[in-house]
Structure 1
């Protein structure tokens, strides 16, 4: 399913990419924030809850984005079939078509309620750095790719994700009522909704943010405090130390899992 504003002008590009690979797809019309009437936003959105969590209000576009995906979750929950959700500015790697689209639904549902297939605002030139600094602490391998739990989850976008019917029902249950968080606040979905959020490595979906202007970014930038560059420089030694610690923990976990699986194999042969 591809979430897209009718006025976006992006449908032809992504439809051509999907059709070229023979992938089945359909569009769901996103809710247009411009159509909110007087007083309607106040009914649909809990500003106090958003400000308590993020220190800022959500933009009209962010509220509309959340409502659009929630409408899609209703279709997935009622239809009883897992779905890959893409935004209309998504770029897909070949592995998306040759591998991910062919994975069995029950295999993924055994591992997760949601699998993030990409990250917004991440360029391919920074892909290796992202994997280095944000390793998976637990993962399972499928077709030479890994699905697992990262050390840290954050608002990393919703440019592409797989969601099961059970995941859709959990998402609907804990987001009922006015919108009070960002759609892509995955830690919130995990903690408040008891959802199992996993990530795919390497990513197979990318946001075309360098070539396609975002409908949300203008409003969001006005509401979000700007980051101070010198602060990032001061934090770099901490990031390096955290990197070493994370890879050490990940290696320890994988070694323990390997020993455990080896022991089970030995038990089975007795």
Structure 2
């Protein structure tokens, strides 16, 4: 099985909850103290983050919670890289499905590493009851079967979240190489990790890790809401027809990719 790390603020009551869930399955985890950037004074925080880089990409600076989140995960990657073993990183508000224990933990490390450096096991701010419609809107391109898992790359991988992900040792080394220095990106800006760091980022279907955002209010979400502009209801309604059209186009692309893959398998090219 993979090593399991849980990132949590020291003294958080969430620790006991997720520790019990894992212990009930006969599993242990290693808690990693999250970094609380809210405790920094202005000068110390300015040294840690790059607001200009963040504003150029997101139209706003990063909140202290977002900077602390990135720093917390980045501080854990060296341990995984040194271990030479793949690991699963969870945040302490993670809720775990049975498939997490029965399928993900028993998947071959070498098989996963052959397909990805990082596999996202869940998605931020997604309730279980909305998962099926999300799978419709966000299909995977060229999904691959790895053991009992389906993994692939979705059309949209923007801020998919970091509530739970698998990362290989080599993936941790890649992440460290490109994500050093002042923090000017969101941790879950996975396209940036892909394009800037060369990481192969895949997602799991169906998801097996869920964020308990409805019962556990996140300090990151609170501080981010202050800095972000909210979309109006009218704007959201105007987008709905476009989303339906976009979804149809995505599934057409998936069908074409599947047809191409089947044809290549049936009629392989010979040198």
TM-score when normalising by structure 2:
0.94
Q: CA deviation at 1:258?
A: 2.0
Shift of 1:23: 2.2
**Pairs aligned (count):** 266
Equivalent residue runs for 1:1-270 within 5 Å: 1-263=5-267
Shift of 1:259: 2.5
Q: Is the 8 A contact 2:104 2:149 kept in 1?
A: no
Structure 1: gaps of 5 or more residues: none
**Displacement of 1:37 after TM fit?**
3.5
Farther-moved stretch of structure 1 (17-26 vs 44-53)? 17-26
Structure 2: runs of 5+ lacking an equivalent: none
C-alpha separation in 2, matches of 1:116 and 1:239: 23
Task: Between 167-176 and 202-211, report the one with greater CA deviation.
Answer: 167-176
- What is the rounded CA distance, in whole Å, between the counterparts of 2:113 and 2:148 in structure 1? 19
CA RMSD, Structure 1 to Structure 2 (Å): 1.5
C-alpha contact (below 8 Å) 1:23/1:97 kept by paired residues: no
Aligned-partner SS, 2:219: coil
Kept in 1: contact 2:139–2:155 (CA 8 A): yes
Runs of 4+ in 1 over 4 A off after TM superposition: none
Q: Does the CA-based 8 Å contact 2:118-2:201 persist in structure 1? A: yes
| Distance in structure 1 (CA, Å) of the matches to 2:115 and 2:121 | 14
Deviation at 1:206, TM superposition (A): 0.1
Change (3 A) 1:232 1:34: closer
Contact 1:114 1:164 in 2 (8 A): yes
Residues 138, 150 of structure 1: 8 Å contact kept? no
Q: 2 CA distance for matches of 1:254 and 1:261?
A: 11
